[in-house]
């Protein structure tokens, strides 16, 4: 059953320096089509920095990122979104003064594009595209149980709903790879349980790959098919949850000597 799957994201020898300080070094990482992969490590290991490099918020100092067969050198954040990488943020970043629905609609920016002029003149193309956006956005909201709150300002949502909205917005861009930065942060065990189901169903329904950063080991071990461990910006281990759990280096990094 476990046949060689197509690699969606291939990261080779990736590294970044901040003013002489090496934050991440010699990272190799592969994410296959439609898999759920995990990136874990102690605080300050450089996990979010890896996400920032994958989405080109930071341009890597060394190494290559191949996404969907394309080299992404010198691509911008916007290019990466167009190429099919979407993300959420560790500290939630919503459009606070837009409604929940408009937050998701904003995610359709490049998917259902039309010019400002056709908006000003209310041309047929505007009506057609807006109808599609409306329909698709409402569908996304109902998947994430946010339909009731569609007219609420994003900043007025409860915490858990804000996390869900961020994922819905990311999915609105129709990504091939979704990066989740600590999706379970601040959630209680029951919410985390629901989140695990949700992540799985997102993968199945949208047929996309997911790479997530998480501290909650139960979640990581429960849903990730493969896990990469970072420590001090270096790759410590890589493998299935079972392999990671029994890896002595990992245990040492997490528990100390």
Partner 1 sequence: MKKKNPFGRILERDQGRRALSFILITALYLIMEAMMRSGNLSSLFQSLLVPVCCYIVAAIGLNLNVGVSGELNLGQAGFMSVGAFTAVCVSGYLSASVPSGILRLVLAILAGILSAALFGIIIGIPVLKLQGDYLAIVTLAFGQIIKSLITNMYLGFDENGIQFSFVENKTSLAPGGKMLLNGPMGATGTEKISNFTAGFILIVLSLLVVYNLIYSRSGRAIQACRDNRIAAESIGINITSTKLLAFTVSSSLAGAAGALYGLNYSTLVPAKFDFNTSILILVYVVLGGLGNMTGTMAATIILVLLPELLRSMQDYRMLIYAIVLILIMILTNNDTVRTNMTRVKNRIFAKKEGRA
Partner 2 sequence: MDFLSYLINGLSLGSVYAIIALGYTMVYGIAKMLNFAHGDVIMVGAYVVFFAISSFHMPLAVGLLLSIAVCTVLGITIERLAYKPLRQASSLSVLITAIGVSYFLQNAAQLFWSSSTKVFPSVLSNGALQLGGLSISYLTLVTIGTCILVMACLMLFINHTSTGRAMRACSEDKGAATLMGINVNLIISITFAIGSGLAAIASVLLCAAYPSVYPTLGAMPGIKAFTAAVFGGIGSIPGAFLGGLLLGIIEIFAKAYISTQLSDAIVFAVLIIVLLIRPTGLLGRRIREKV
Nearest to 26 by CA among 181, 238, 248: 238
Please calculate the CA angle 193-194-200 and round it to the nearest 5 degrees: 95
Residue of 3, 151, 190, 256 that binds partner 1 (CB under 8 A):
151
**Choice between 115 and 246, CB closer to partner 1:** 115
Q: How far is the CB of 76 from partner 2 (least distance, A)?
A: 14
**Choice between 56 and 163, CB closer to partner 2:** 56
Which of partner 1, partner 2, none lies near 48, with the C-beta cut-off 5 to 8 A by kind? partner 2
Q: Is 107 in the site for partner 1 (CB under 8 A)?
A: yes
Q: CB-based contacts of 153: which residues, under 8 Å, 6+ apart?
A: 96, 97, 98, 99, 100
**Choice between 57 and 123, CB closer to partner 2:** 57
Which of partner 1, partner 2, none lies near 209, with the C-beta cut-off 5 to 8 A by kind? none
Asked whether the beta carbons of 24 and 46 are under 8 A apart, the reply is yes
Alpha helix segments (H runs only) across the chain: 47-54, 77-83, 100-106, 116-120, 124-143, 159-172, 189-206, 217-223, 241-245, 248-255
Q: Is 57 in the site for partner 2 (CB under 8 A)?
A: yes
Q: Is 172 in the site for partner 1 (CB under 8 A)?
A: yes
Print the binding letters for residues 95-134 with partner 2: x by CB under 8 A, - otherwise.
----------------------------------------
**Choice between 98 and 221, CB closer to partner 1:** 98
Q: Is 68 in the site for partner 1 (CB under 8 A)?
A: no
The three-class DSSP label of residue 3 is: coil
Span 80-99, contacts to partner 1 by CB under 8 A: 81-82, 86-87, 89, 93-99
The three-class DSSP label of residue 162 is: helix
Separation of alpha carbons 137 and 78, rounded Å = 21
Please calculate the CA angle 142-148-149 and round it to the nearest 5 degrees: 105
Separation of alpha carbons 29 and 212, rounded Å = 13
Q: Is 112 in the site for partner 1 (CB under 8 A)?
A: yes
Q: How far is the CB of 119 from partner 2 (least distance, A)?
A: 27
Structural element, H or E, at residue 182: none
Which of partner 1, partner 2, none lies near 110, with the C-beta cut-off 5 to 8 A by kind? partner 1
Q: Is 164 in the site for partner 1 (CB under 8 A)?
A: no
Binding site for partner 2 (CB under 8 A): 48, 52, 57, 89
């Amino acid at each position: 059953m476990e046949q060689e799957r197509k690699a969606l994201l291939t990261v080779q020898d990736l590294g970044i320096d901040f003013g002489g300080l090496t934050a991440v070094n010699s990272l190799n990482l592969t994410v296959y089509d439609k898999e759920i992969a995990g990136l874990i490590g102690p605080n300050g290991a450089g996990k979010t920095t890896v996400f920032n490099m994958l989405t080109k918020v930071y341009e890597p100092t060394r190494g290559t990122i191949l996404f969907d067969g394309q080299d992404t050198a010198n691509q911008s954040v916007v290019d990466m979104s167009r190429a099919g990488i979407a993300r959420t943020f560790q500290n939630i970043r919503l459009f606070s003064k837009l409604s929940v629905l408009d937050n998701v609609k904003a995610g359709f920016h490049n998917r259902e594009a039309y010019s400002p002029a056709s908006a000003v003149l209310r041309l047929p193309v505007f009506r057609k595209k807006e109808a599609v956006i409306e329909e698709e956005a409402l569908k996304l909201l109902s998947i994430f149980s946010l339909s009731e709150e569609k007219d609420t300002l994003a900043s007025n949502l409860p915490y858990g709903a804000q996390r869900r909205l961020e994922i819905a917005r990311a999915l609105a861009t129709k990504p091939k790879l979704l990066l989740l930065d600590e999706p379970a942060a601040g959630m209680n065990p029951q919410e985390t349980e629901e989140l695990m189901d949700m992540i799985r169903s997102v993968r199945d329904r949208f047929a996309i790959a997911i790479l997530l950063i998480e501290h909650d080991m139960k979640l990581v071990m429960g849903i990730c098919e493969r896990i990469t461990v970072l420590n001090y910006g270096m790759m410590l281990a890589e493998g299935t949850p079972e392999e990671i759990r029994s890896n002595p280096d990992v245990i040492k990094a997490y528990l100390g000597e």
